Amino acid sequence: MMRQYNFKALSKADVNQLILRNTDSGNAIRESVLNIIEEVKTHGDDALKNFAQKFDQVDLKQLYIGKEALTKLANEIPQQVKHAITTAFQNIKKFHESQTSSKQVIETSIGVNCWRESRAIERVGLYIPGGSAVLPSTFLMLGVPAKIAGCKEIVVCSPPQKNGSVNGYIAFVAQLLGIEKIYLAGGAQAVAAMAYGTASIPKVDKIFGPGNQFVTMAKTIVQSTTNTAIDMPAGPSEVLVIADETANPVYVAADLLAQAEHGADSQAVLVSTSASLIEKSLEEVSKQLAVLPRKEVAAKALTNSYTVLVDDLEVAMDFSNEYAPEHLILATDNWQLITDKITNAGSVFLGNLTPESAGDYASGTNHTLPTSAYARSYSGVSLDSFVKKITFQHISESGIKNLGPTVEILAEIEGLHAHKNAVTVRLENI
Ligand SMILES: NC(=O)c1ccc[n+]([C@@H]2O[C@H](COP(=O)([O-])OP(=O)(O)OC[C@H]3O[C@@H](n4cnc5c(N)ncnc54)[C@H](O)[C@@H]3O)[C@@H](O)[C@H]2O)c1
Ligand SMILES: N[C@H](CO)Cc1c[nH]c[nH+]1
Ligand SMILES: [Zn+2]
């Protein structure tokens, strides 16, 4: 069950210790991921098949599911689910399309024009988790912005299911997105395949997607050892709920459990100004947990989780900013009073009627978000994650006459005479 703290007894170092709940096994995971990466680098597809057998208990003849099989699988899912997935797809599309920026040309000095243009990252790899739960919603969250950005090649990897295939929901999302192949690879081996390339799986320029500790560790390693970039460290799910006496303990408990059920290494934190709200919420957690199908997983996650009693909402916000949660829920009617004070969070849910599940699935915002305090410095996935912003400039005759002498002086003081000369030869010629 959740551990309880009084804010006054906690230091910043304690907060960081609570965030780093998995450090004990960190080194072992790193070692094992380094071995997996080496195997995939050396043995390619054969290694992927061996790991599918070892970790997913599946004997794969072929490492992908193609268009025809995907269409068949997609056709088999219930109409009602197709409708829900399509509604989510449309909302996510609407929100991400609104992120396109228009070109703005700035004349920084007379005759000197500068601007930025977006260009899609050409080859992207999407990792769709599929270990303890299959997440078609994650496919929407990554596939929609990749398509809007105009990425030419979209490689999708997801762990094989026990029947050696993907499920129909994933297939339906592929159909909505116009993606014709899903590679059957999970965990660190999928990340390694997309970073190095194998006979079946193309190498990509950037890897996206959440996953367990093996996936997140593999992304972090390939980012520093290859020229493949990653979106961010998006590991085990977290939620921090700030609640006062206006919160409903039933909703608070439901929101805590919604993230706890993701995995045994998930973390749920309740920060409240009210001891009675904490007590009632914990009673509710026990009641709701008892009837959850994934109660074992959620119960384990709750042993990593905690409540914190604070004096007021401002202190609650200070704590939250230090913790930098993946998801922050302001379970209070007074959310407008504290929203401006948020400095670190992946995605924020305002008021008592805004469950985090809405953002997980269908409101339109992206659910691929930084965890383990990386929200201090990273944003969640957005359209920007799938493009590069290239800068351009054009300098006219008046521009070079105007700006040239400044460049010549700066090049001179750095002792870089060829730089200076690139201006001088032009000035002498006009
Ligand atoms: N931060 C986010 O934005 C976000 C979004 C969605 C999900 N999540 C998180 O993603 C995670 C999904 O995890 P999952 O496990 O269900 O699926 P997963 O697809 O990330 O991992 C499954 C794979 O892990 C590998 N694996 C399992 N045991 C292993 C071992 N002992 N050694 C090496 N590899 C092993 C296997 O290859 C397996 O296919 C959850 O922790 C969830 O909280 C995060
Ligand atoms: N809460 C997860 C991100 O941490 C995303 C998700 C997928 N499905 C349900 N929830
Ligand atoms: Zn979730």
- CATH code for the part of the protein at 3-22+236-364: 3.40.50.1980
pLDDT digits (tens, 9 = 90+) for 360-381: 999 999 999 999 999 999 999 9
pLDDT digits (tens, 9 = 90+) for 66-96: 999 999 999 999 999 999 999 999 999 999 9
The predicted structure's pLDDT at residue 320: 96
> Is any ligand 1 atom within 6 A of the Cβ of residue 44?
no
Three-state DSSP state, 265:
coil
The predicted structure's pLDDT at residue 215: 95
Q: Tell me whether residue 396 is annotated as binding.
A: no
> Which stretches of 247-309 are assigned E, i.e. beta strand?
267-272, 306-309
> Is any ligand 1 atom within 6 A of the Cβ of residue 216?
no
Domain ranges in the chain?
3-22+236-364, 28-233, 396-428
The predicted structure's pLDDT at residue 151: 98
The predicted structure's pLDDT at residue 179: 98
Q: Is the pLDDT of residue 25 over 70?
A: no
Torsion of CA 208, 213, 214, 218, to 10 degrees: 50
| H-helix segments, 201-273 | 213-225, 249-260
For residue 286, name the pLDDT band (cuts at 50, 70, 90): very high
Catalytic residue among 39, 261, 326, 356: 326
The predicted structure's pLDDT at residue 24: 52
Q: What is the percentage of the chain residues whose pLDDT exceeds 70? A: 99
**Ligand number nearest to the C-alpha of 371:** 1
> What's the mean pLDDT in 265-283?
96
Closest among 95, 386, 346 to 237, alpha carbons compared: 346
Query: Is the distance from CB of 317 to CB of 341 less than 8 angstroms?
Result: yes
Q: Which CATH class is domain 28-233?
A: alpha beta
Q: Is the pLDDT of residue 383 over 80?
A: yes
Distance 390 CA to ligand 2 centre (A): 32
Q: Is the pLDDT of residue 287 over 90?
A: yes
Query: Is the distance from CB of 52 to CB of 185 less than 8 angstroms?
Result: yes
Domains 3-22+236-364 and 28-233 share a fold: yes
Retrieve residue 363's tokens: 């409101």
Any residues with Cβ below 6 Å from ligand 2, and which?
135, 137-138, 237, 259, 326, 360, 367
Q: Is 68 an annotated catalytic residue?
A: no
Closest among 80, 180, 82 to 136, alpha carbons compared: 82
For residue 16, name the pLDDT band (cuts at 50, 70, 90): confident
> Is any ligand 1 atom within 6 A of the Cβ of residue 304?
no
Tell how far CA 74 is from the center of its chain. 26
Distance 360 CA to ligand 3 centre (A): 5
> What's the mean pLDDT in 179-203?
98
Q: What is the percentage of the chain residues whose pLDDT exceeds 90? A: 91
> Could you give the CA distance from residue 150 to residue 153 in angstroms, rounded to a whole number?
9
Q: Is the pLDDT of residue 308 over 70?
A: yes
Catalytic residue among 261, 284, 327, 356: 327
Q: Is the pLDDT of residue 120 over 90?
A: yes
pLDDT digits (tens, 9 = 90+) for 403-414: 999 999 999 999
Q: Is 284 an annotated catalytic residue?
A: no
Distance 357 CA to ligand 3 centre (A): 6
Q: Tell me whether residue 14 is annotated as binding.
A: no
For residue 5, name the pLDDT band (cuts at 50, 70, 90): confident
Given the structure tokens 């912005």, which residue do they identify? 145
pLDDT digits (tens, 9 = 90+) for 151-167: 999 999 999 999 999 99
* Residue 89 DSSP class: H
Give me the interface pTM, i.e. the ipTM. Answer: 0.97
Q: pTM, whole model, 2 decimals?
A: 0.95
Distance 369 CA to ligand 2 centre (A): 9
Phi/psi at 384 (5° precision): -55, -30
How crowded is residue 428: how many other Cβ atoms within 10 Å of its Cβ?
Answer: 8
Q: Which atom of ligand 1 is nearest to the CA of 52?
A: 37
Q: Tell me whether residue 17 is annotated as binding.
A: no
Q: Is the pLDDT of residue 310 over 90?
A: yes
Q: Tell me whether residue 127 is annotated as binding.
A: yes
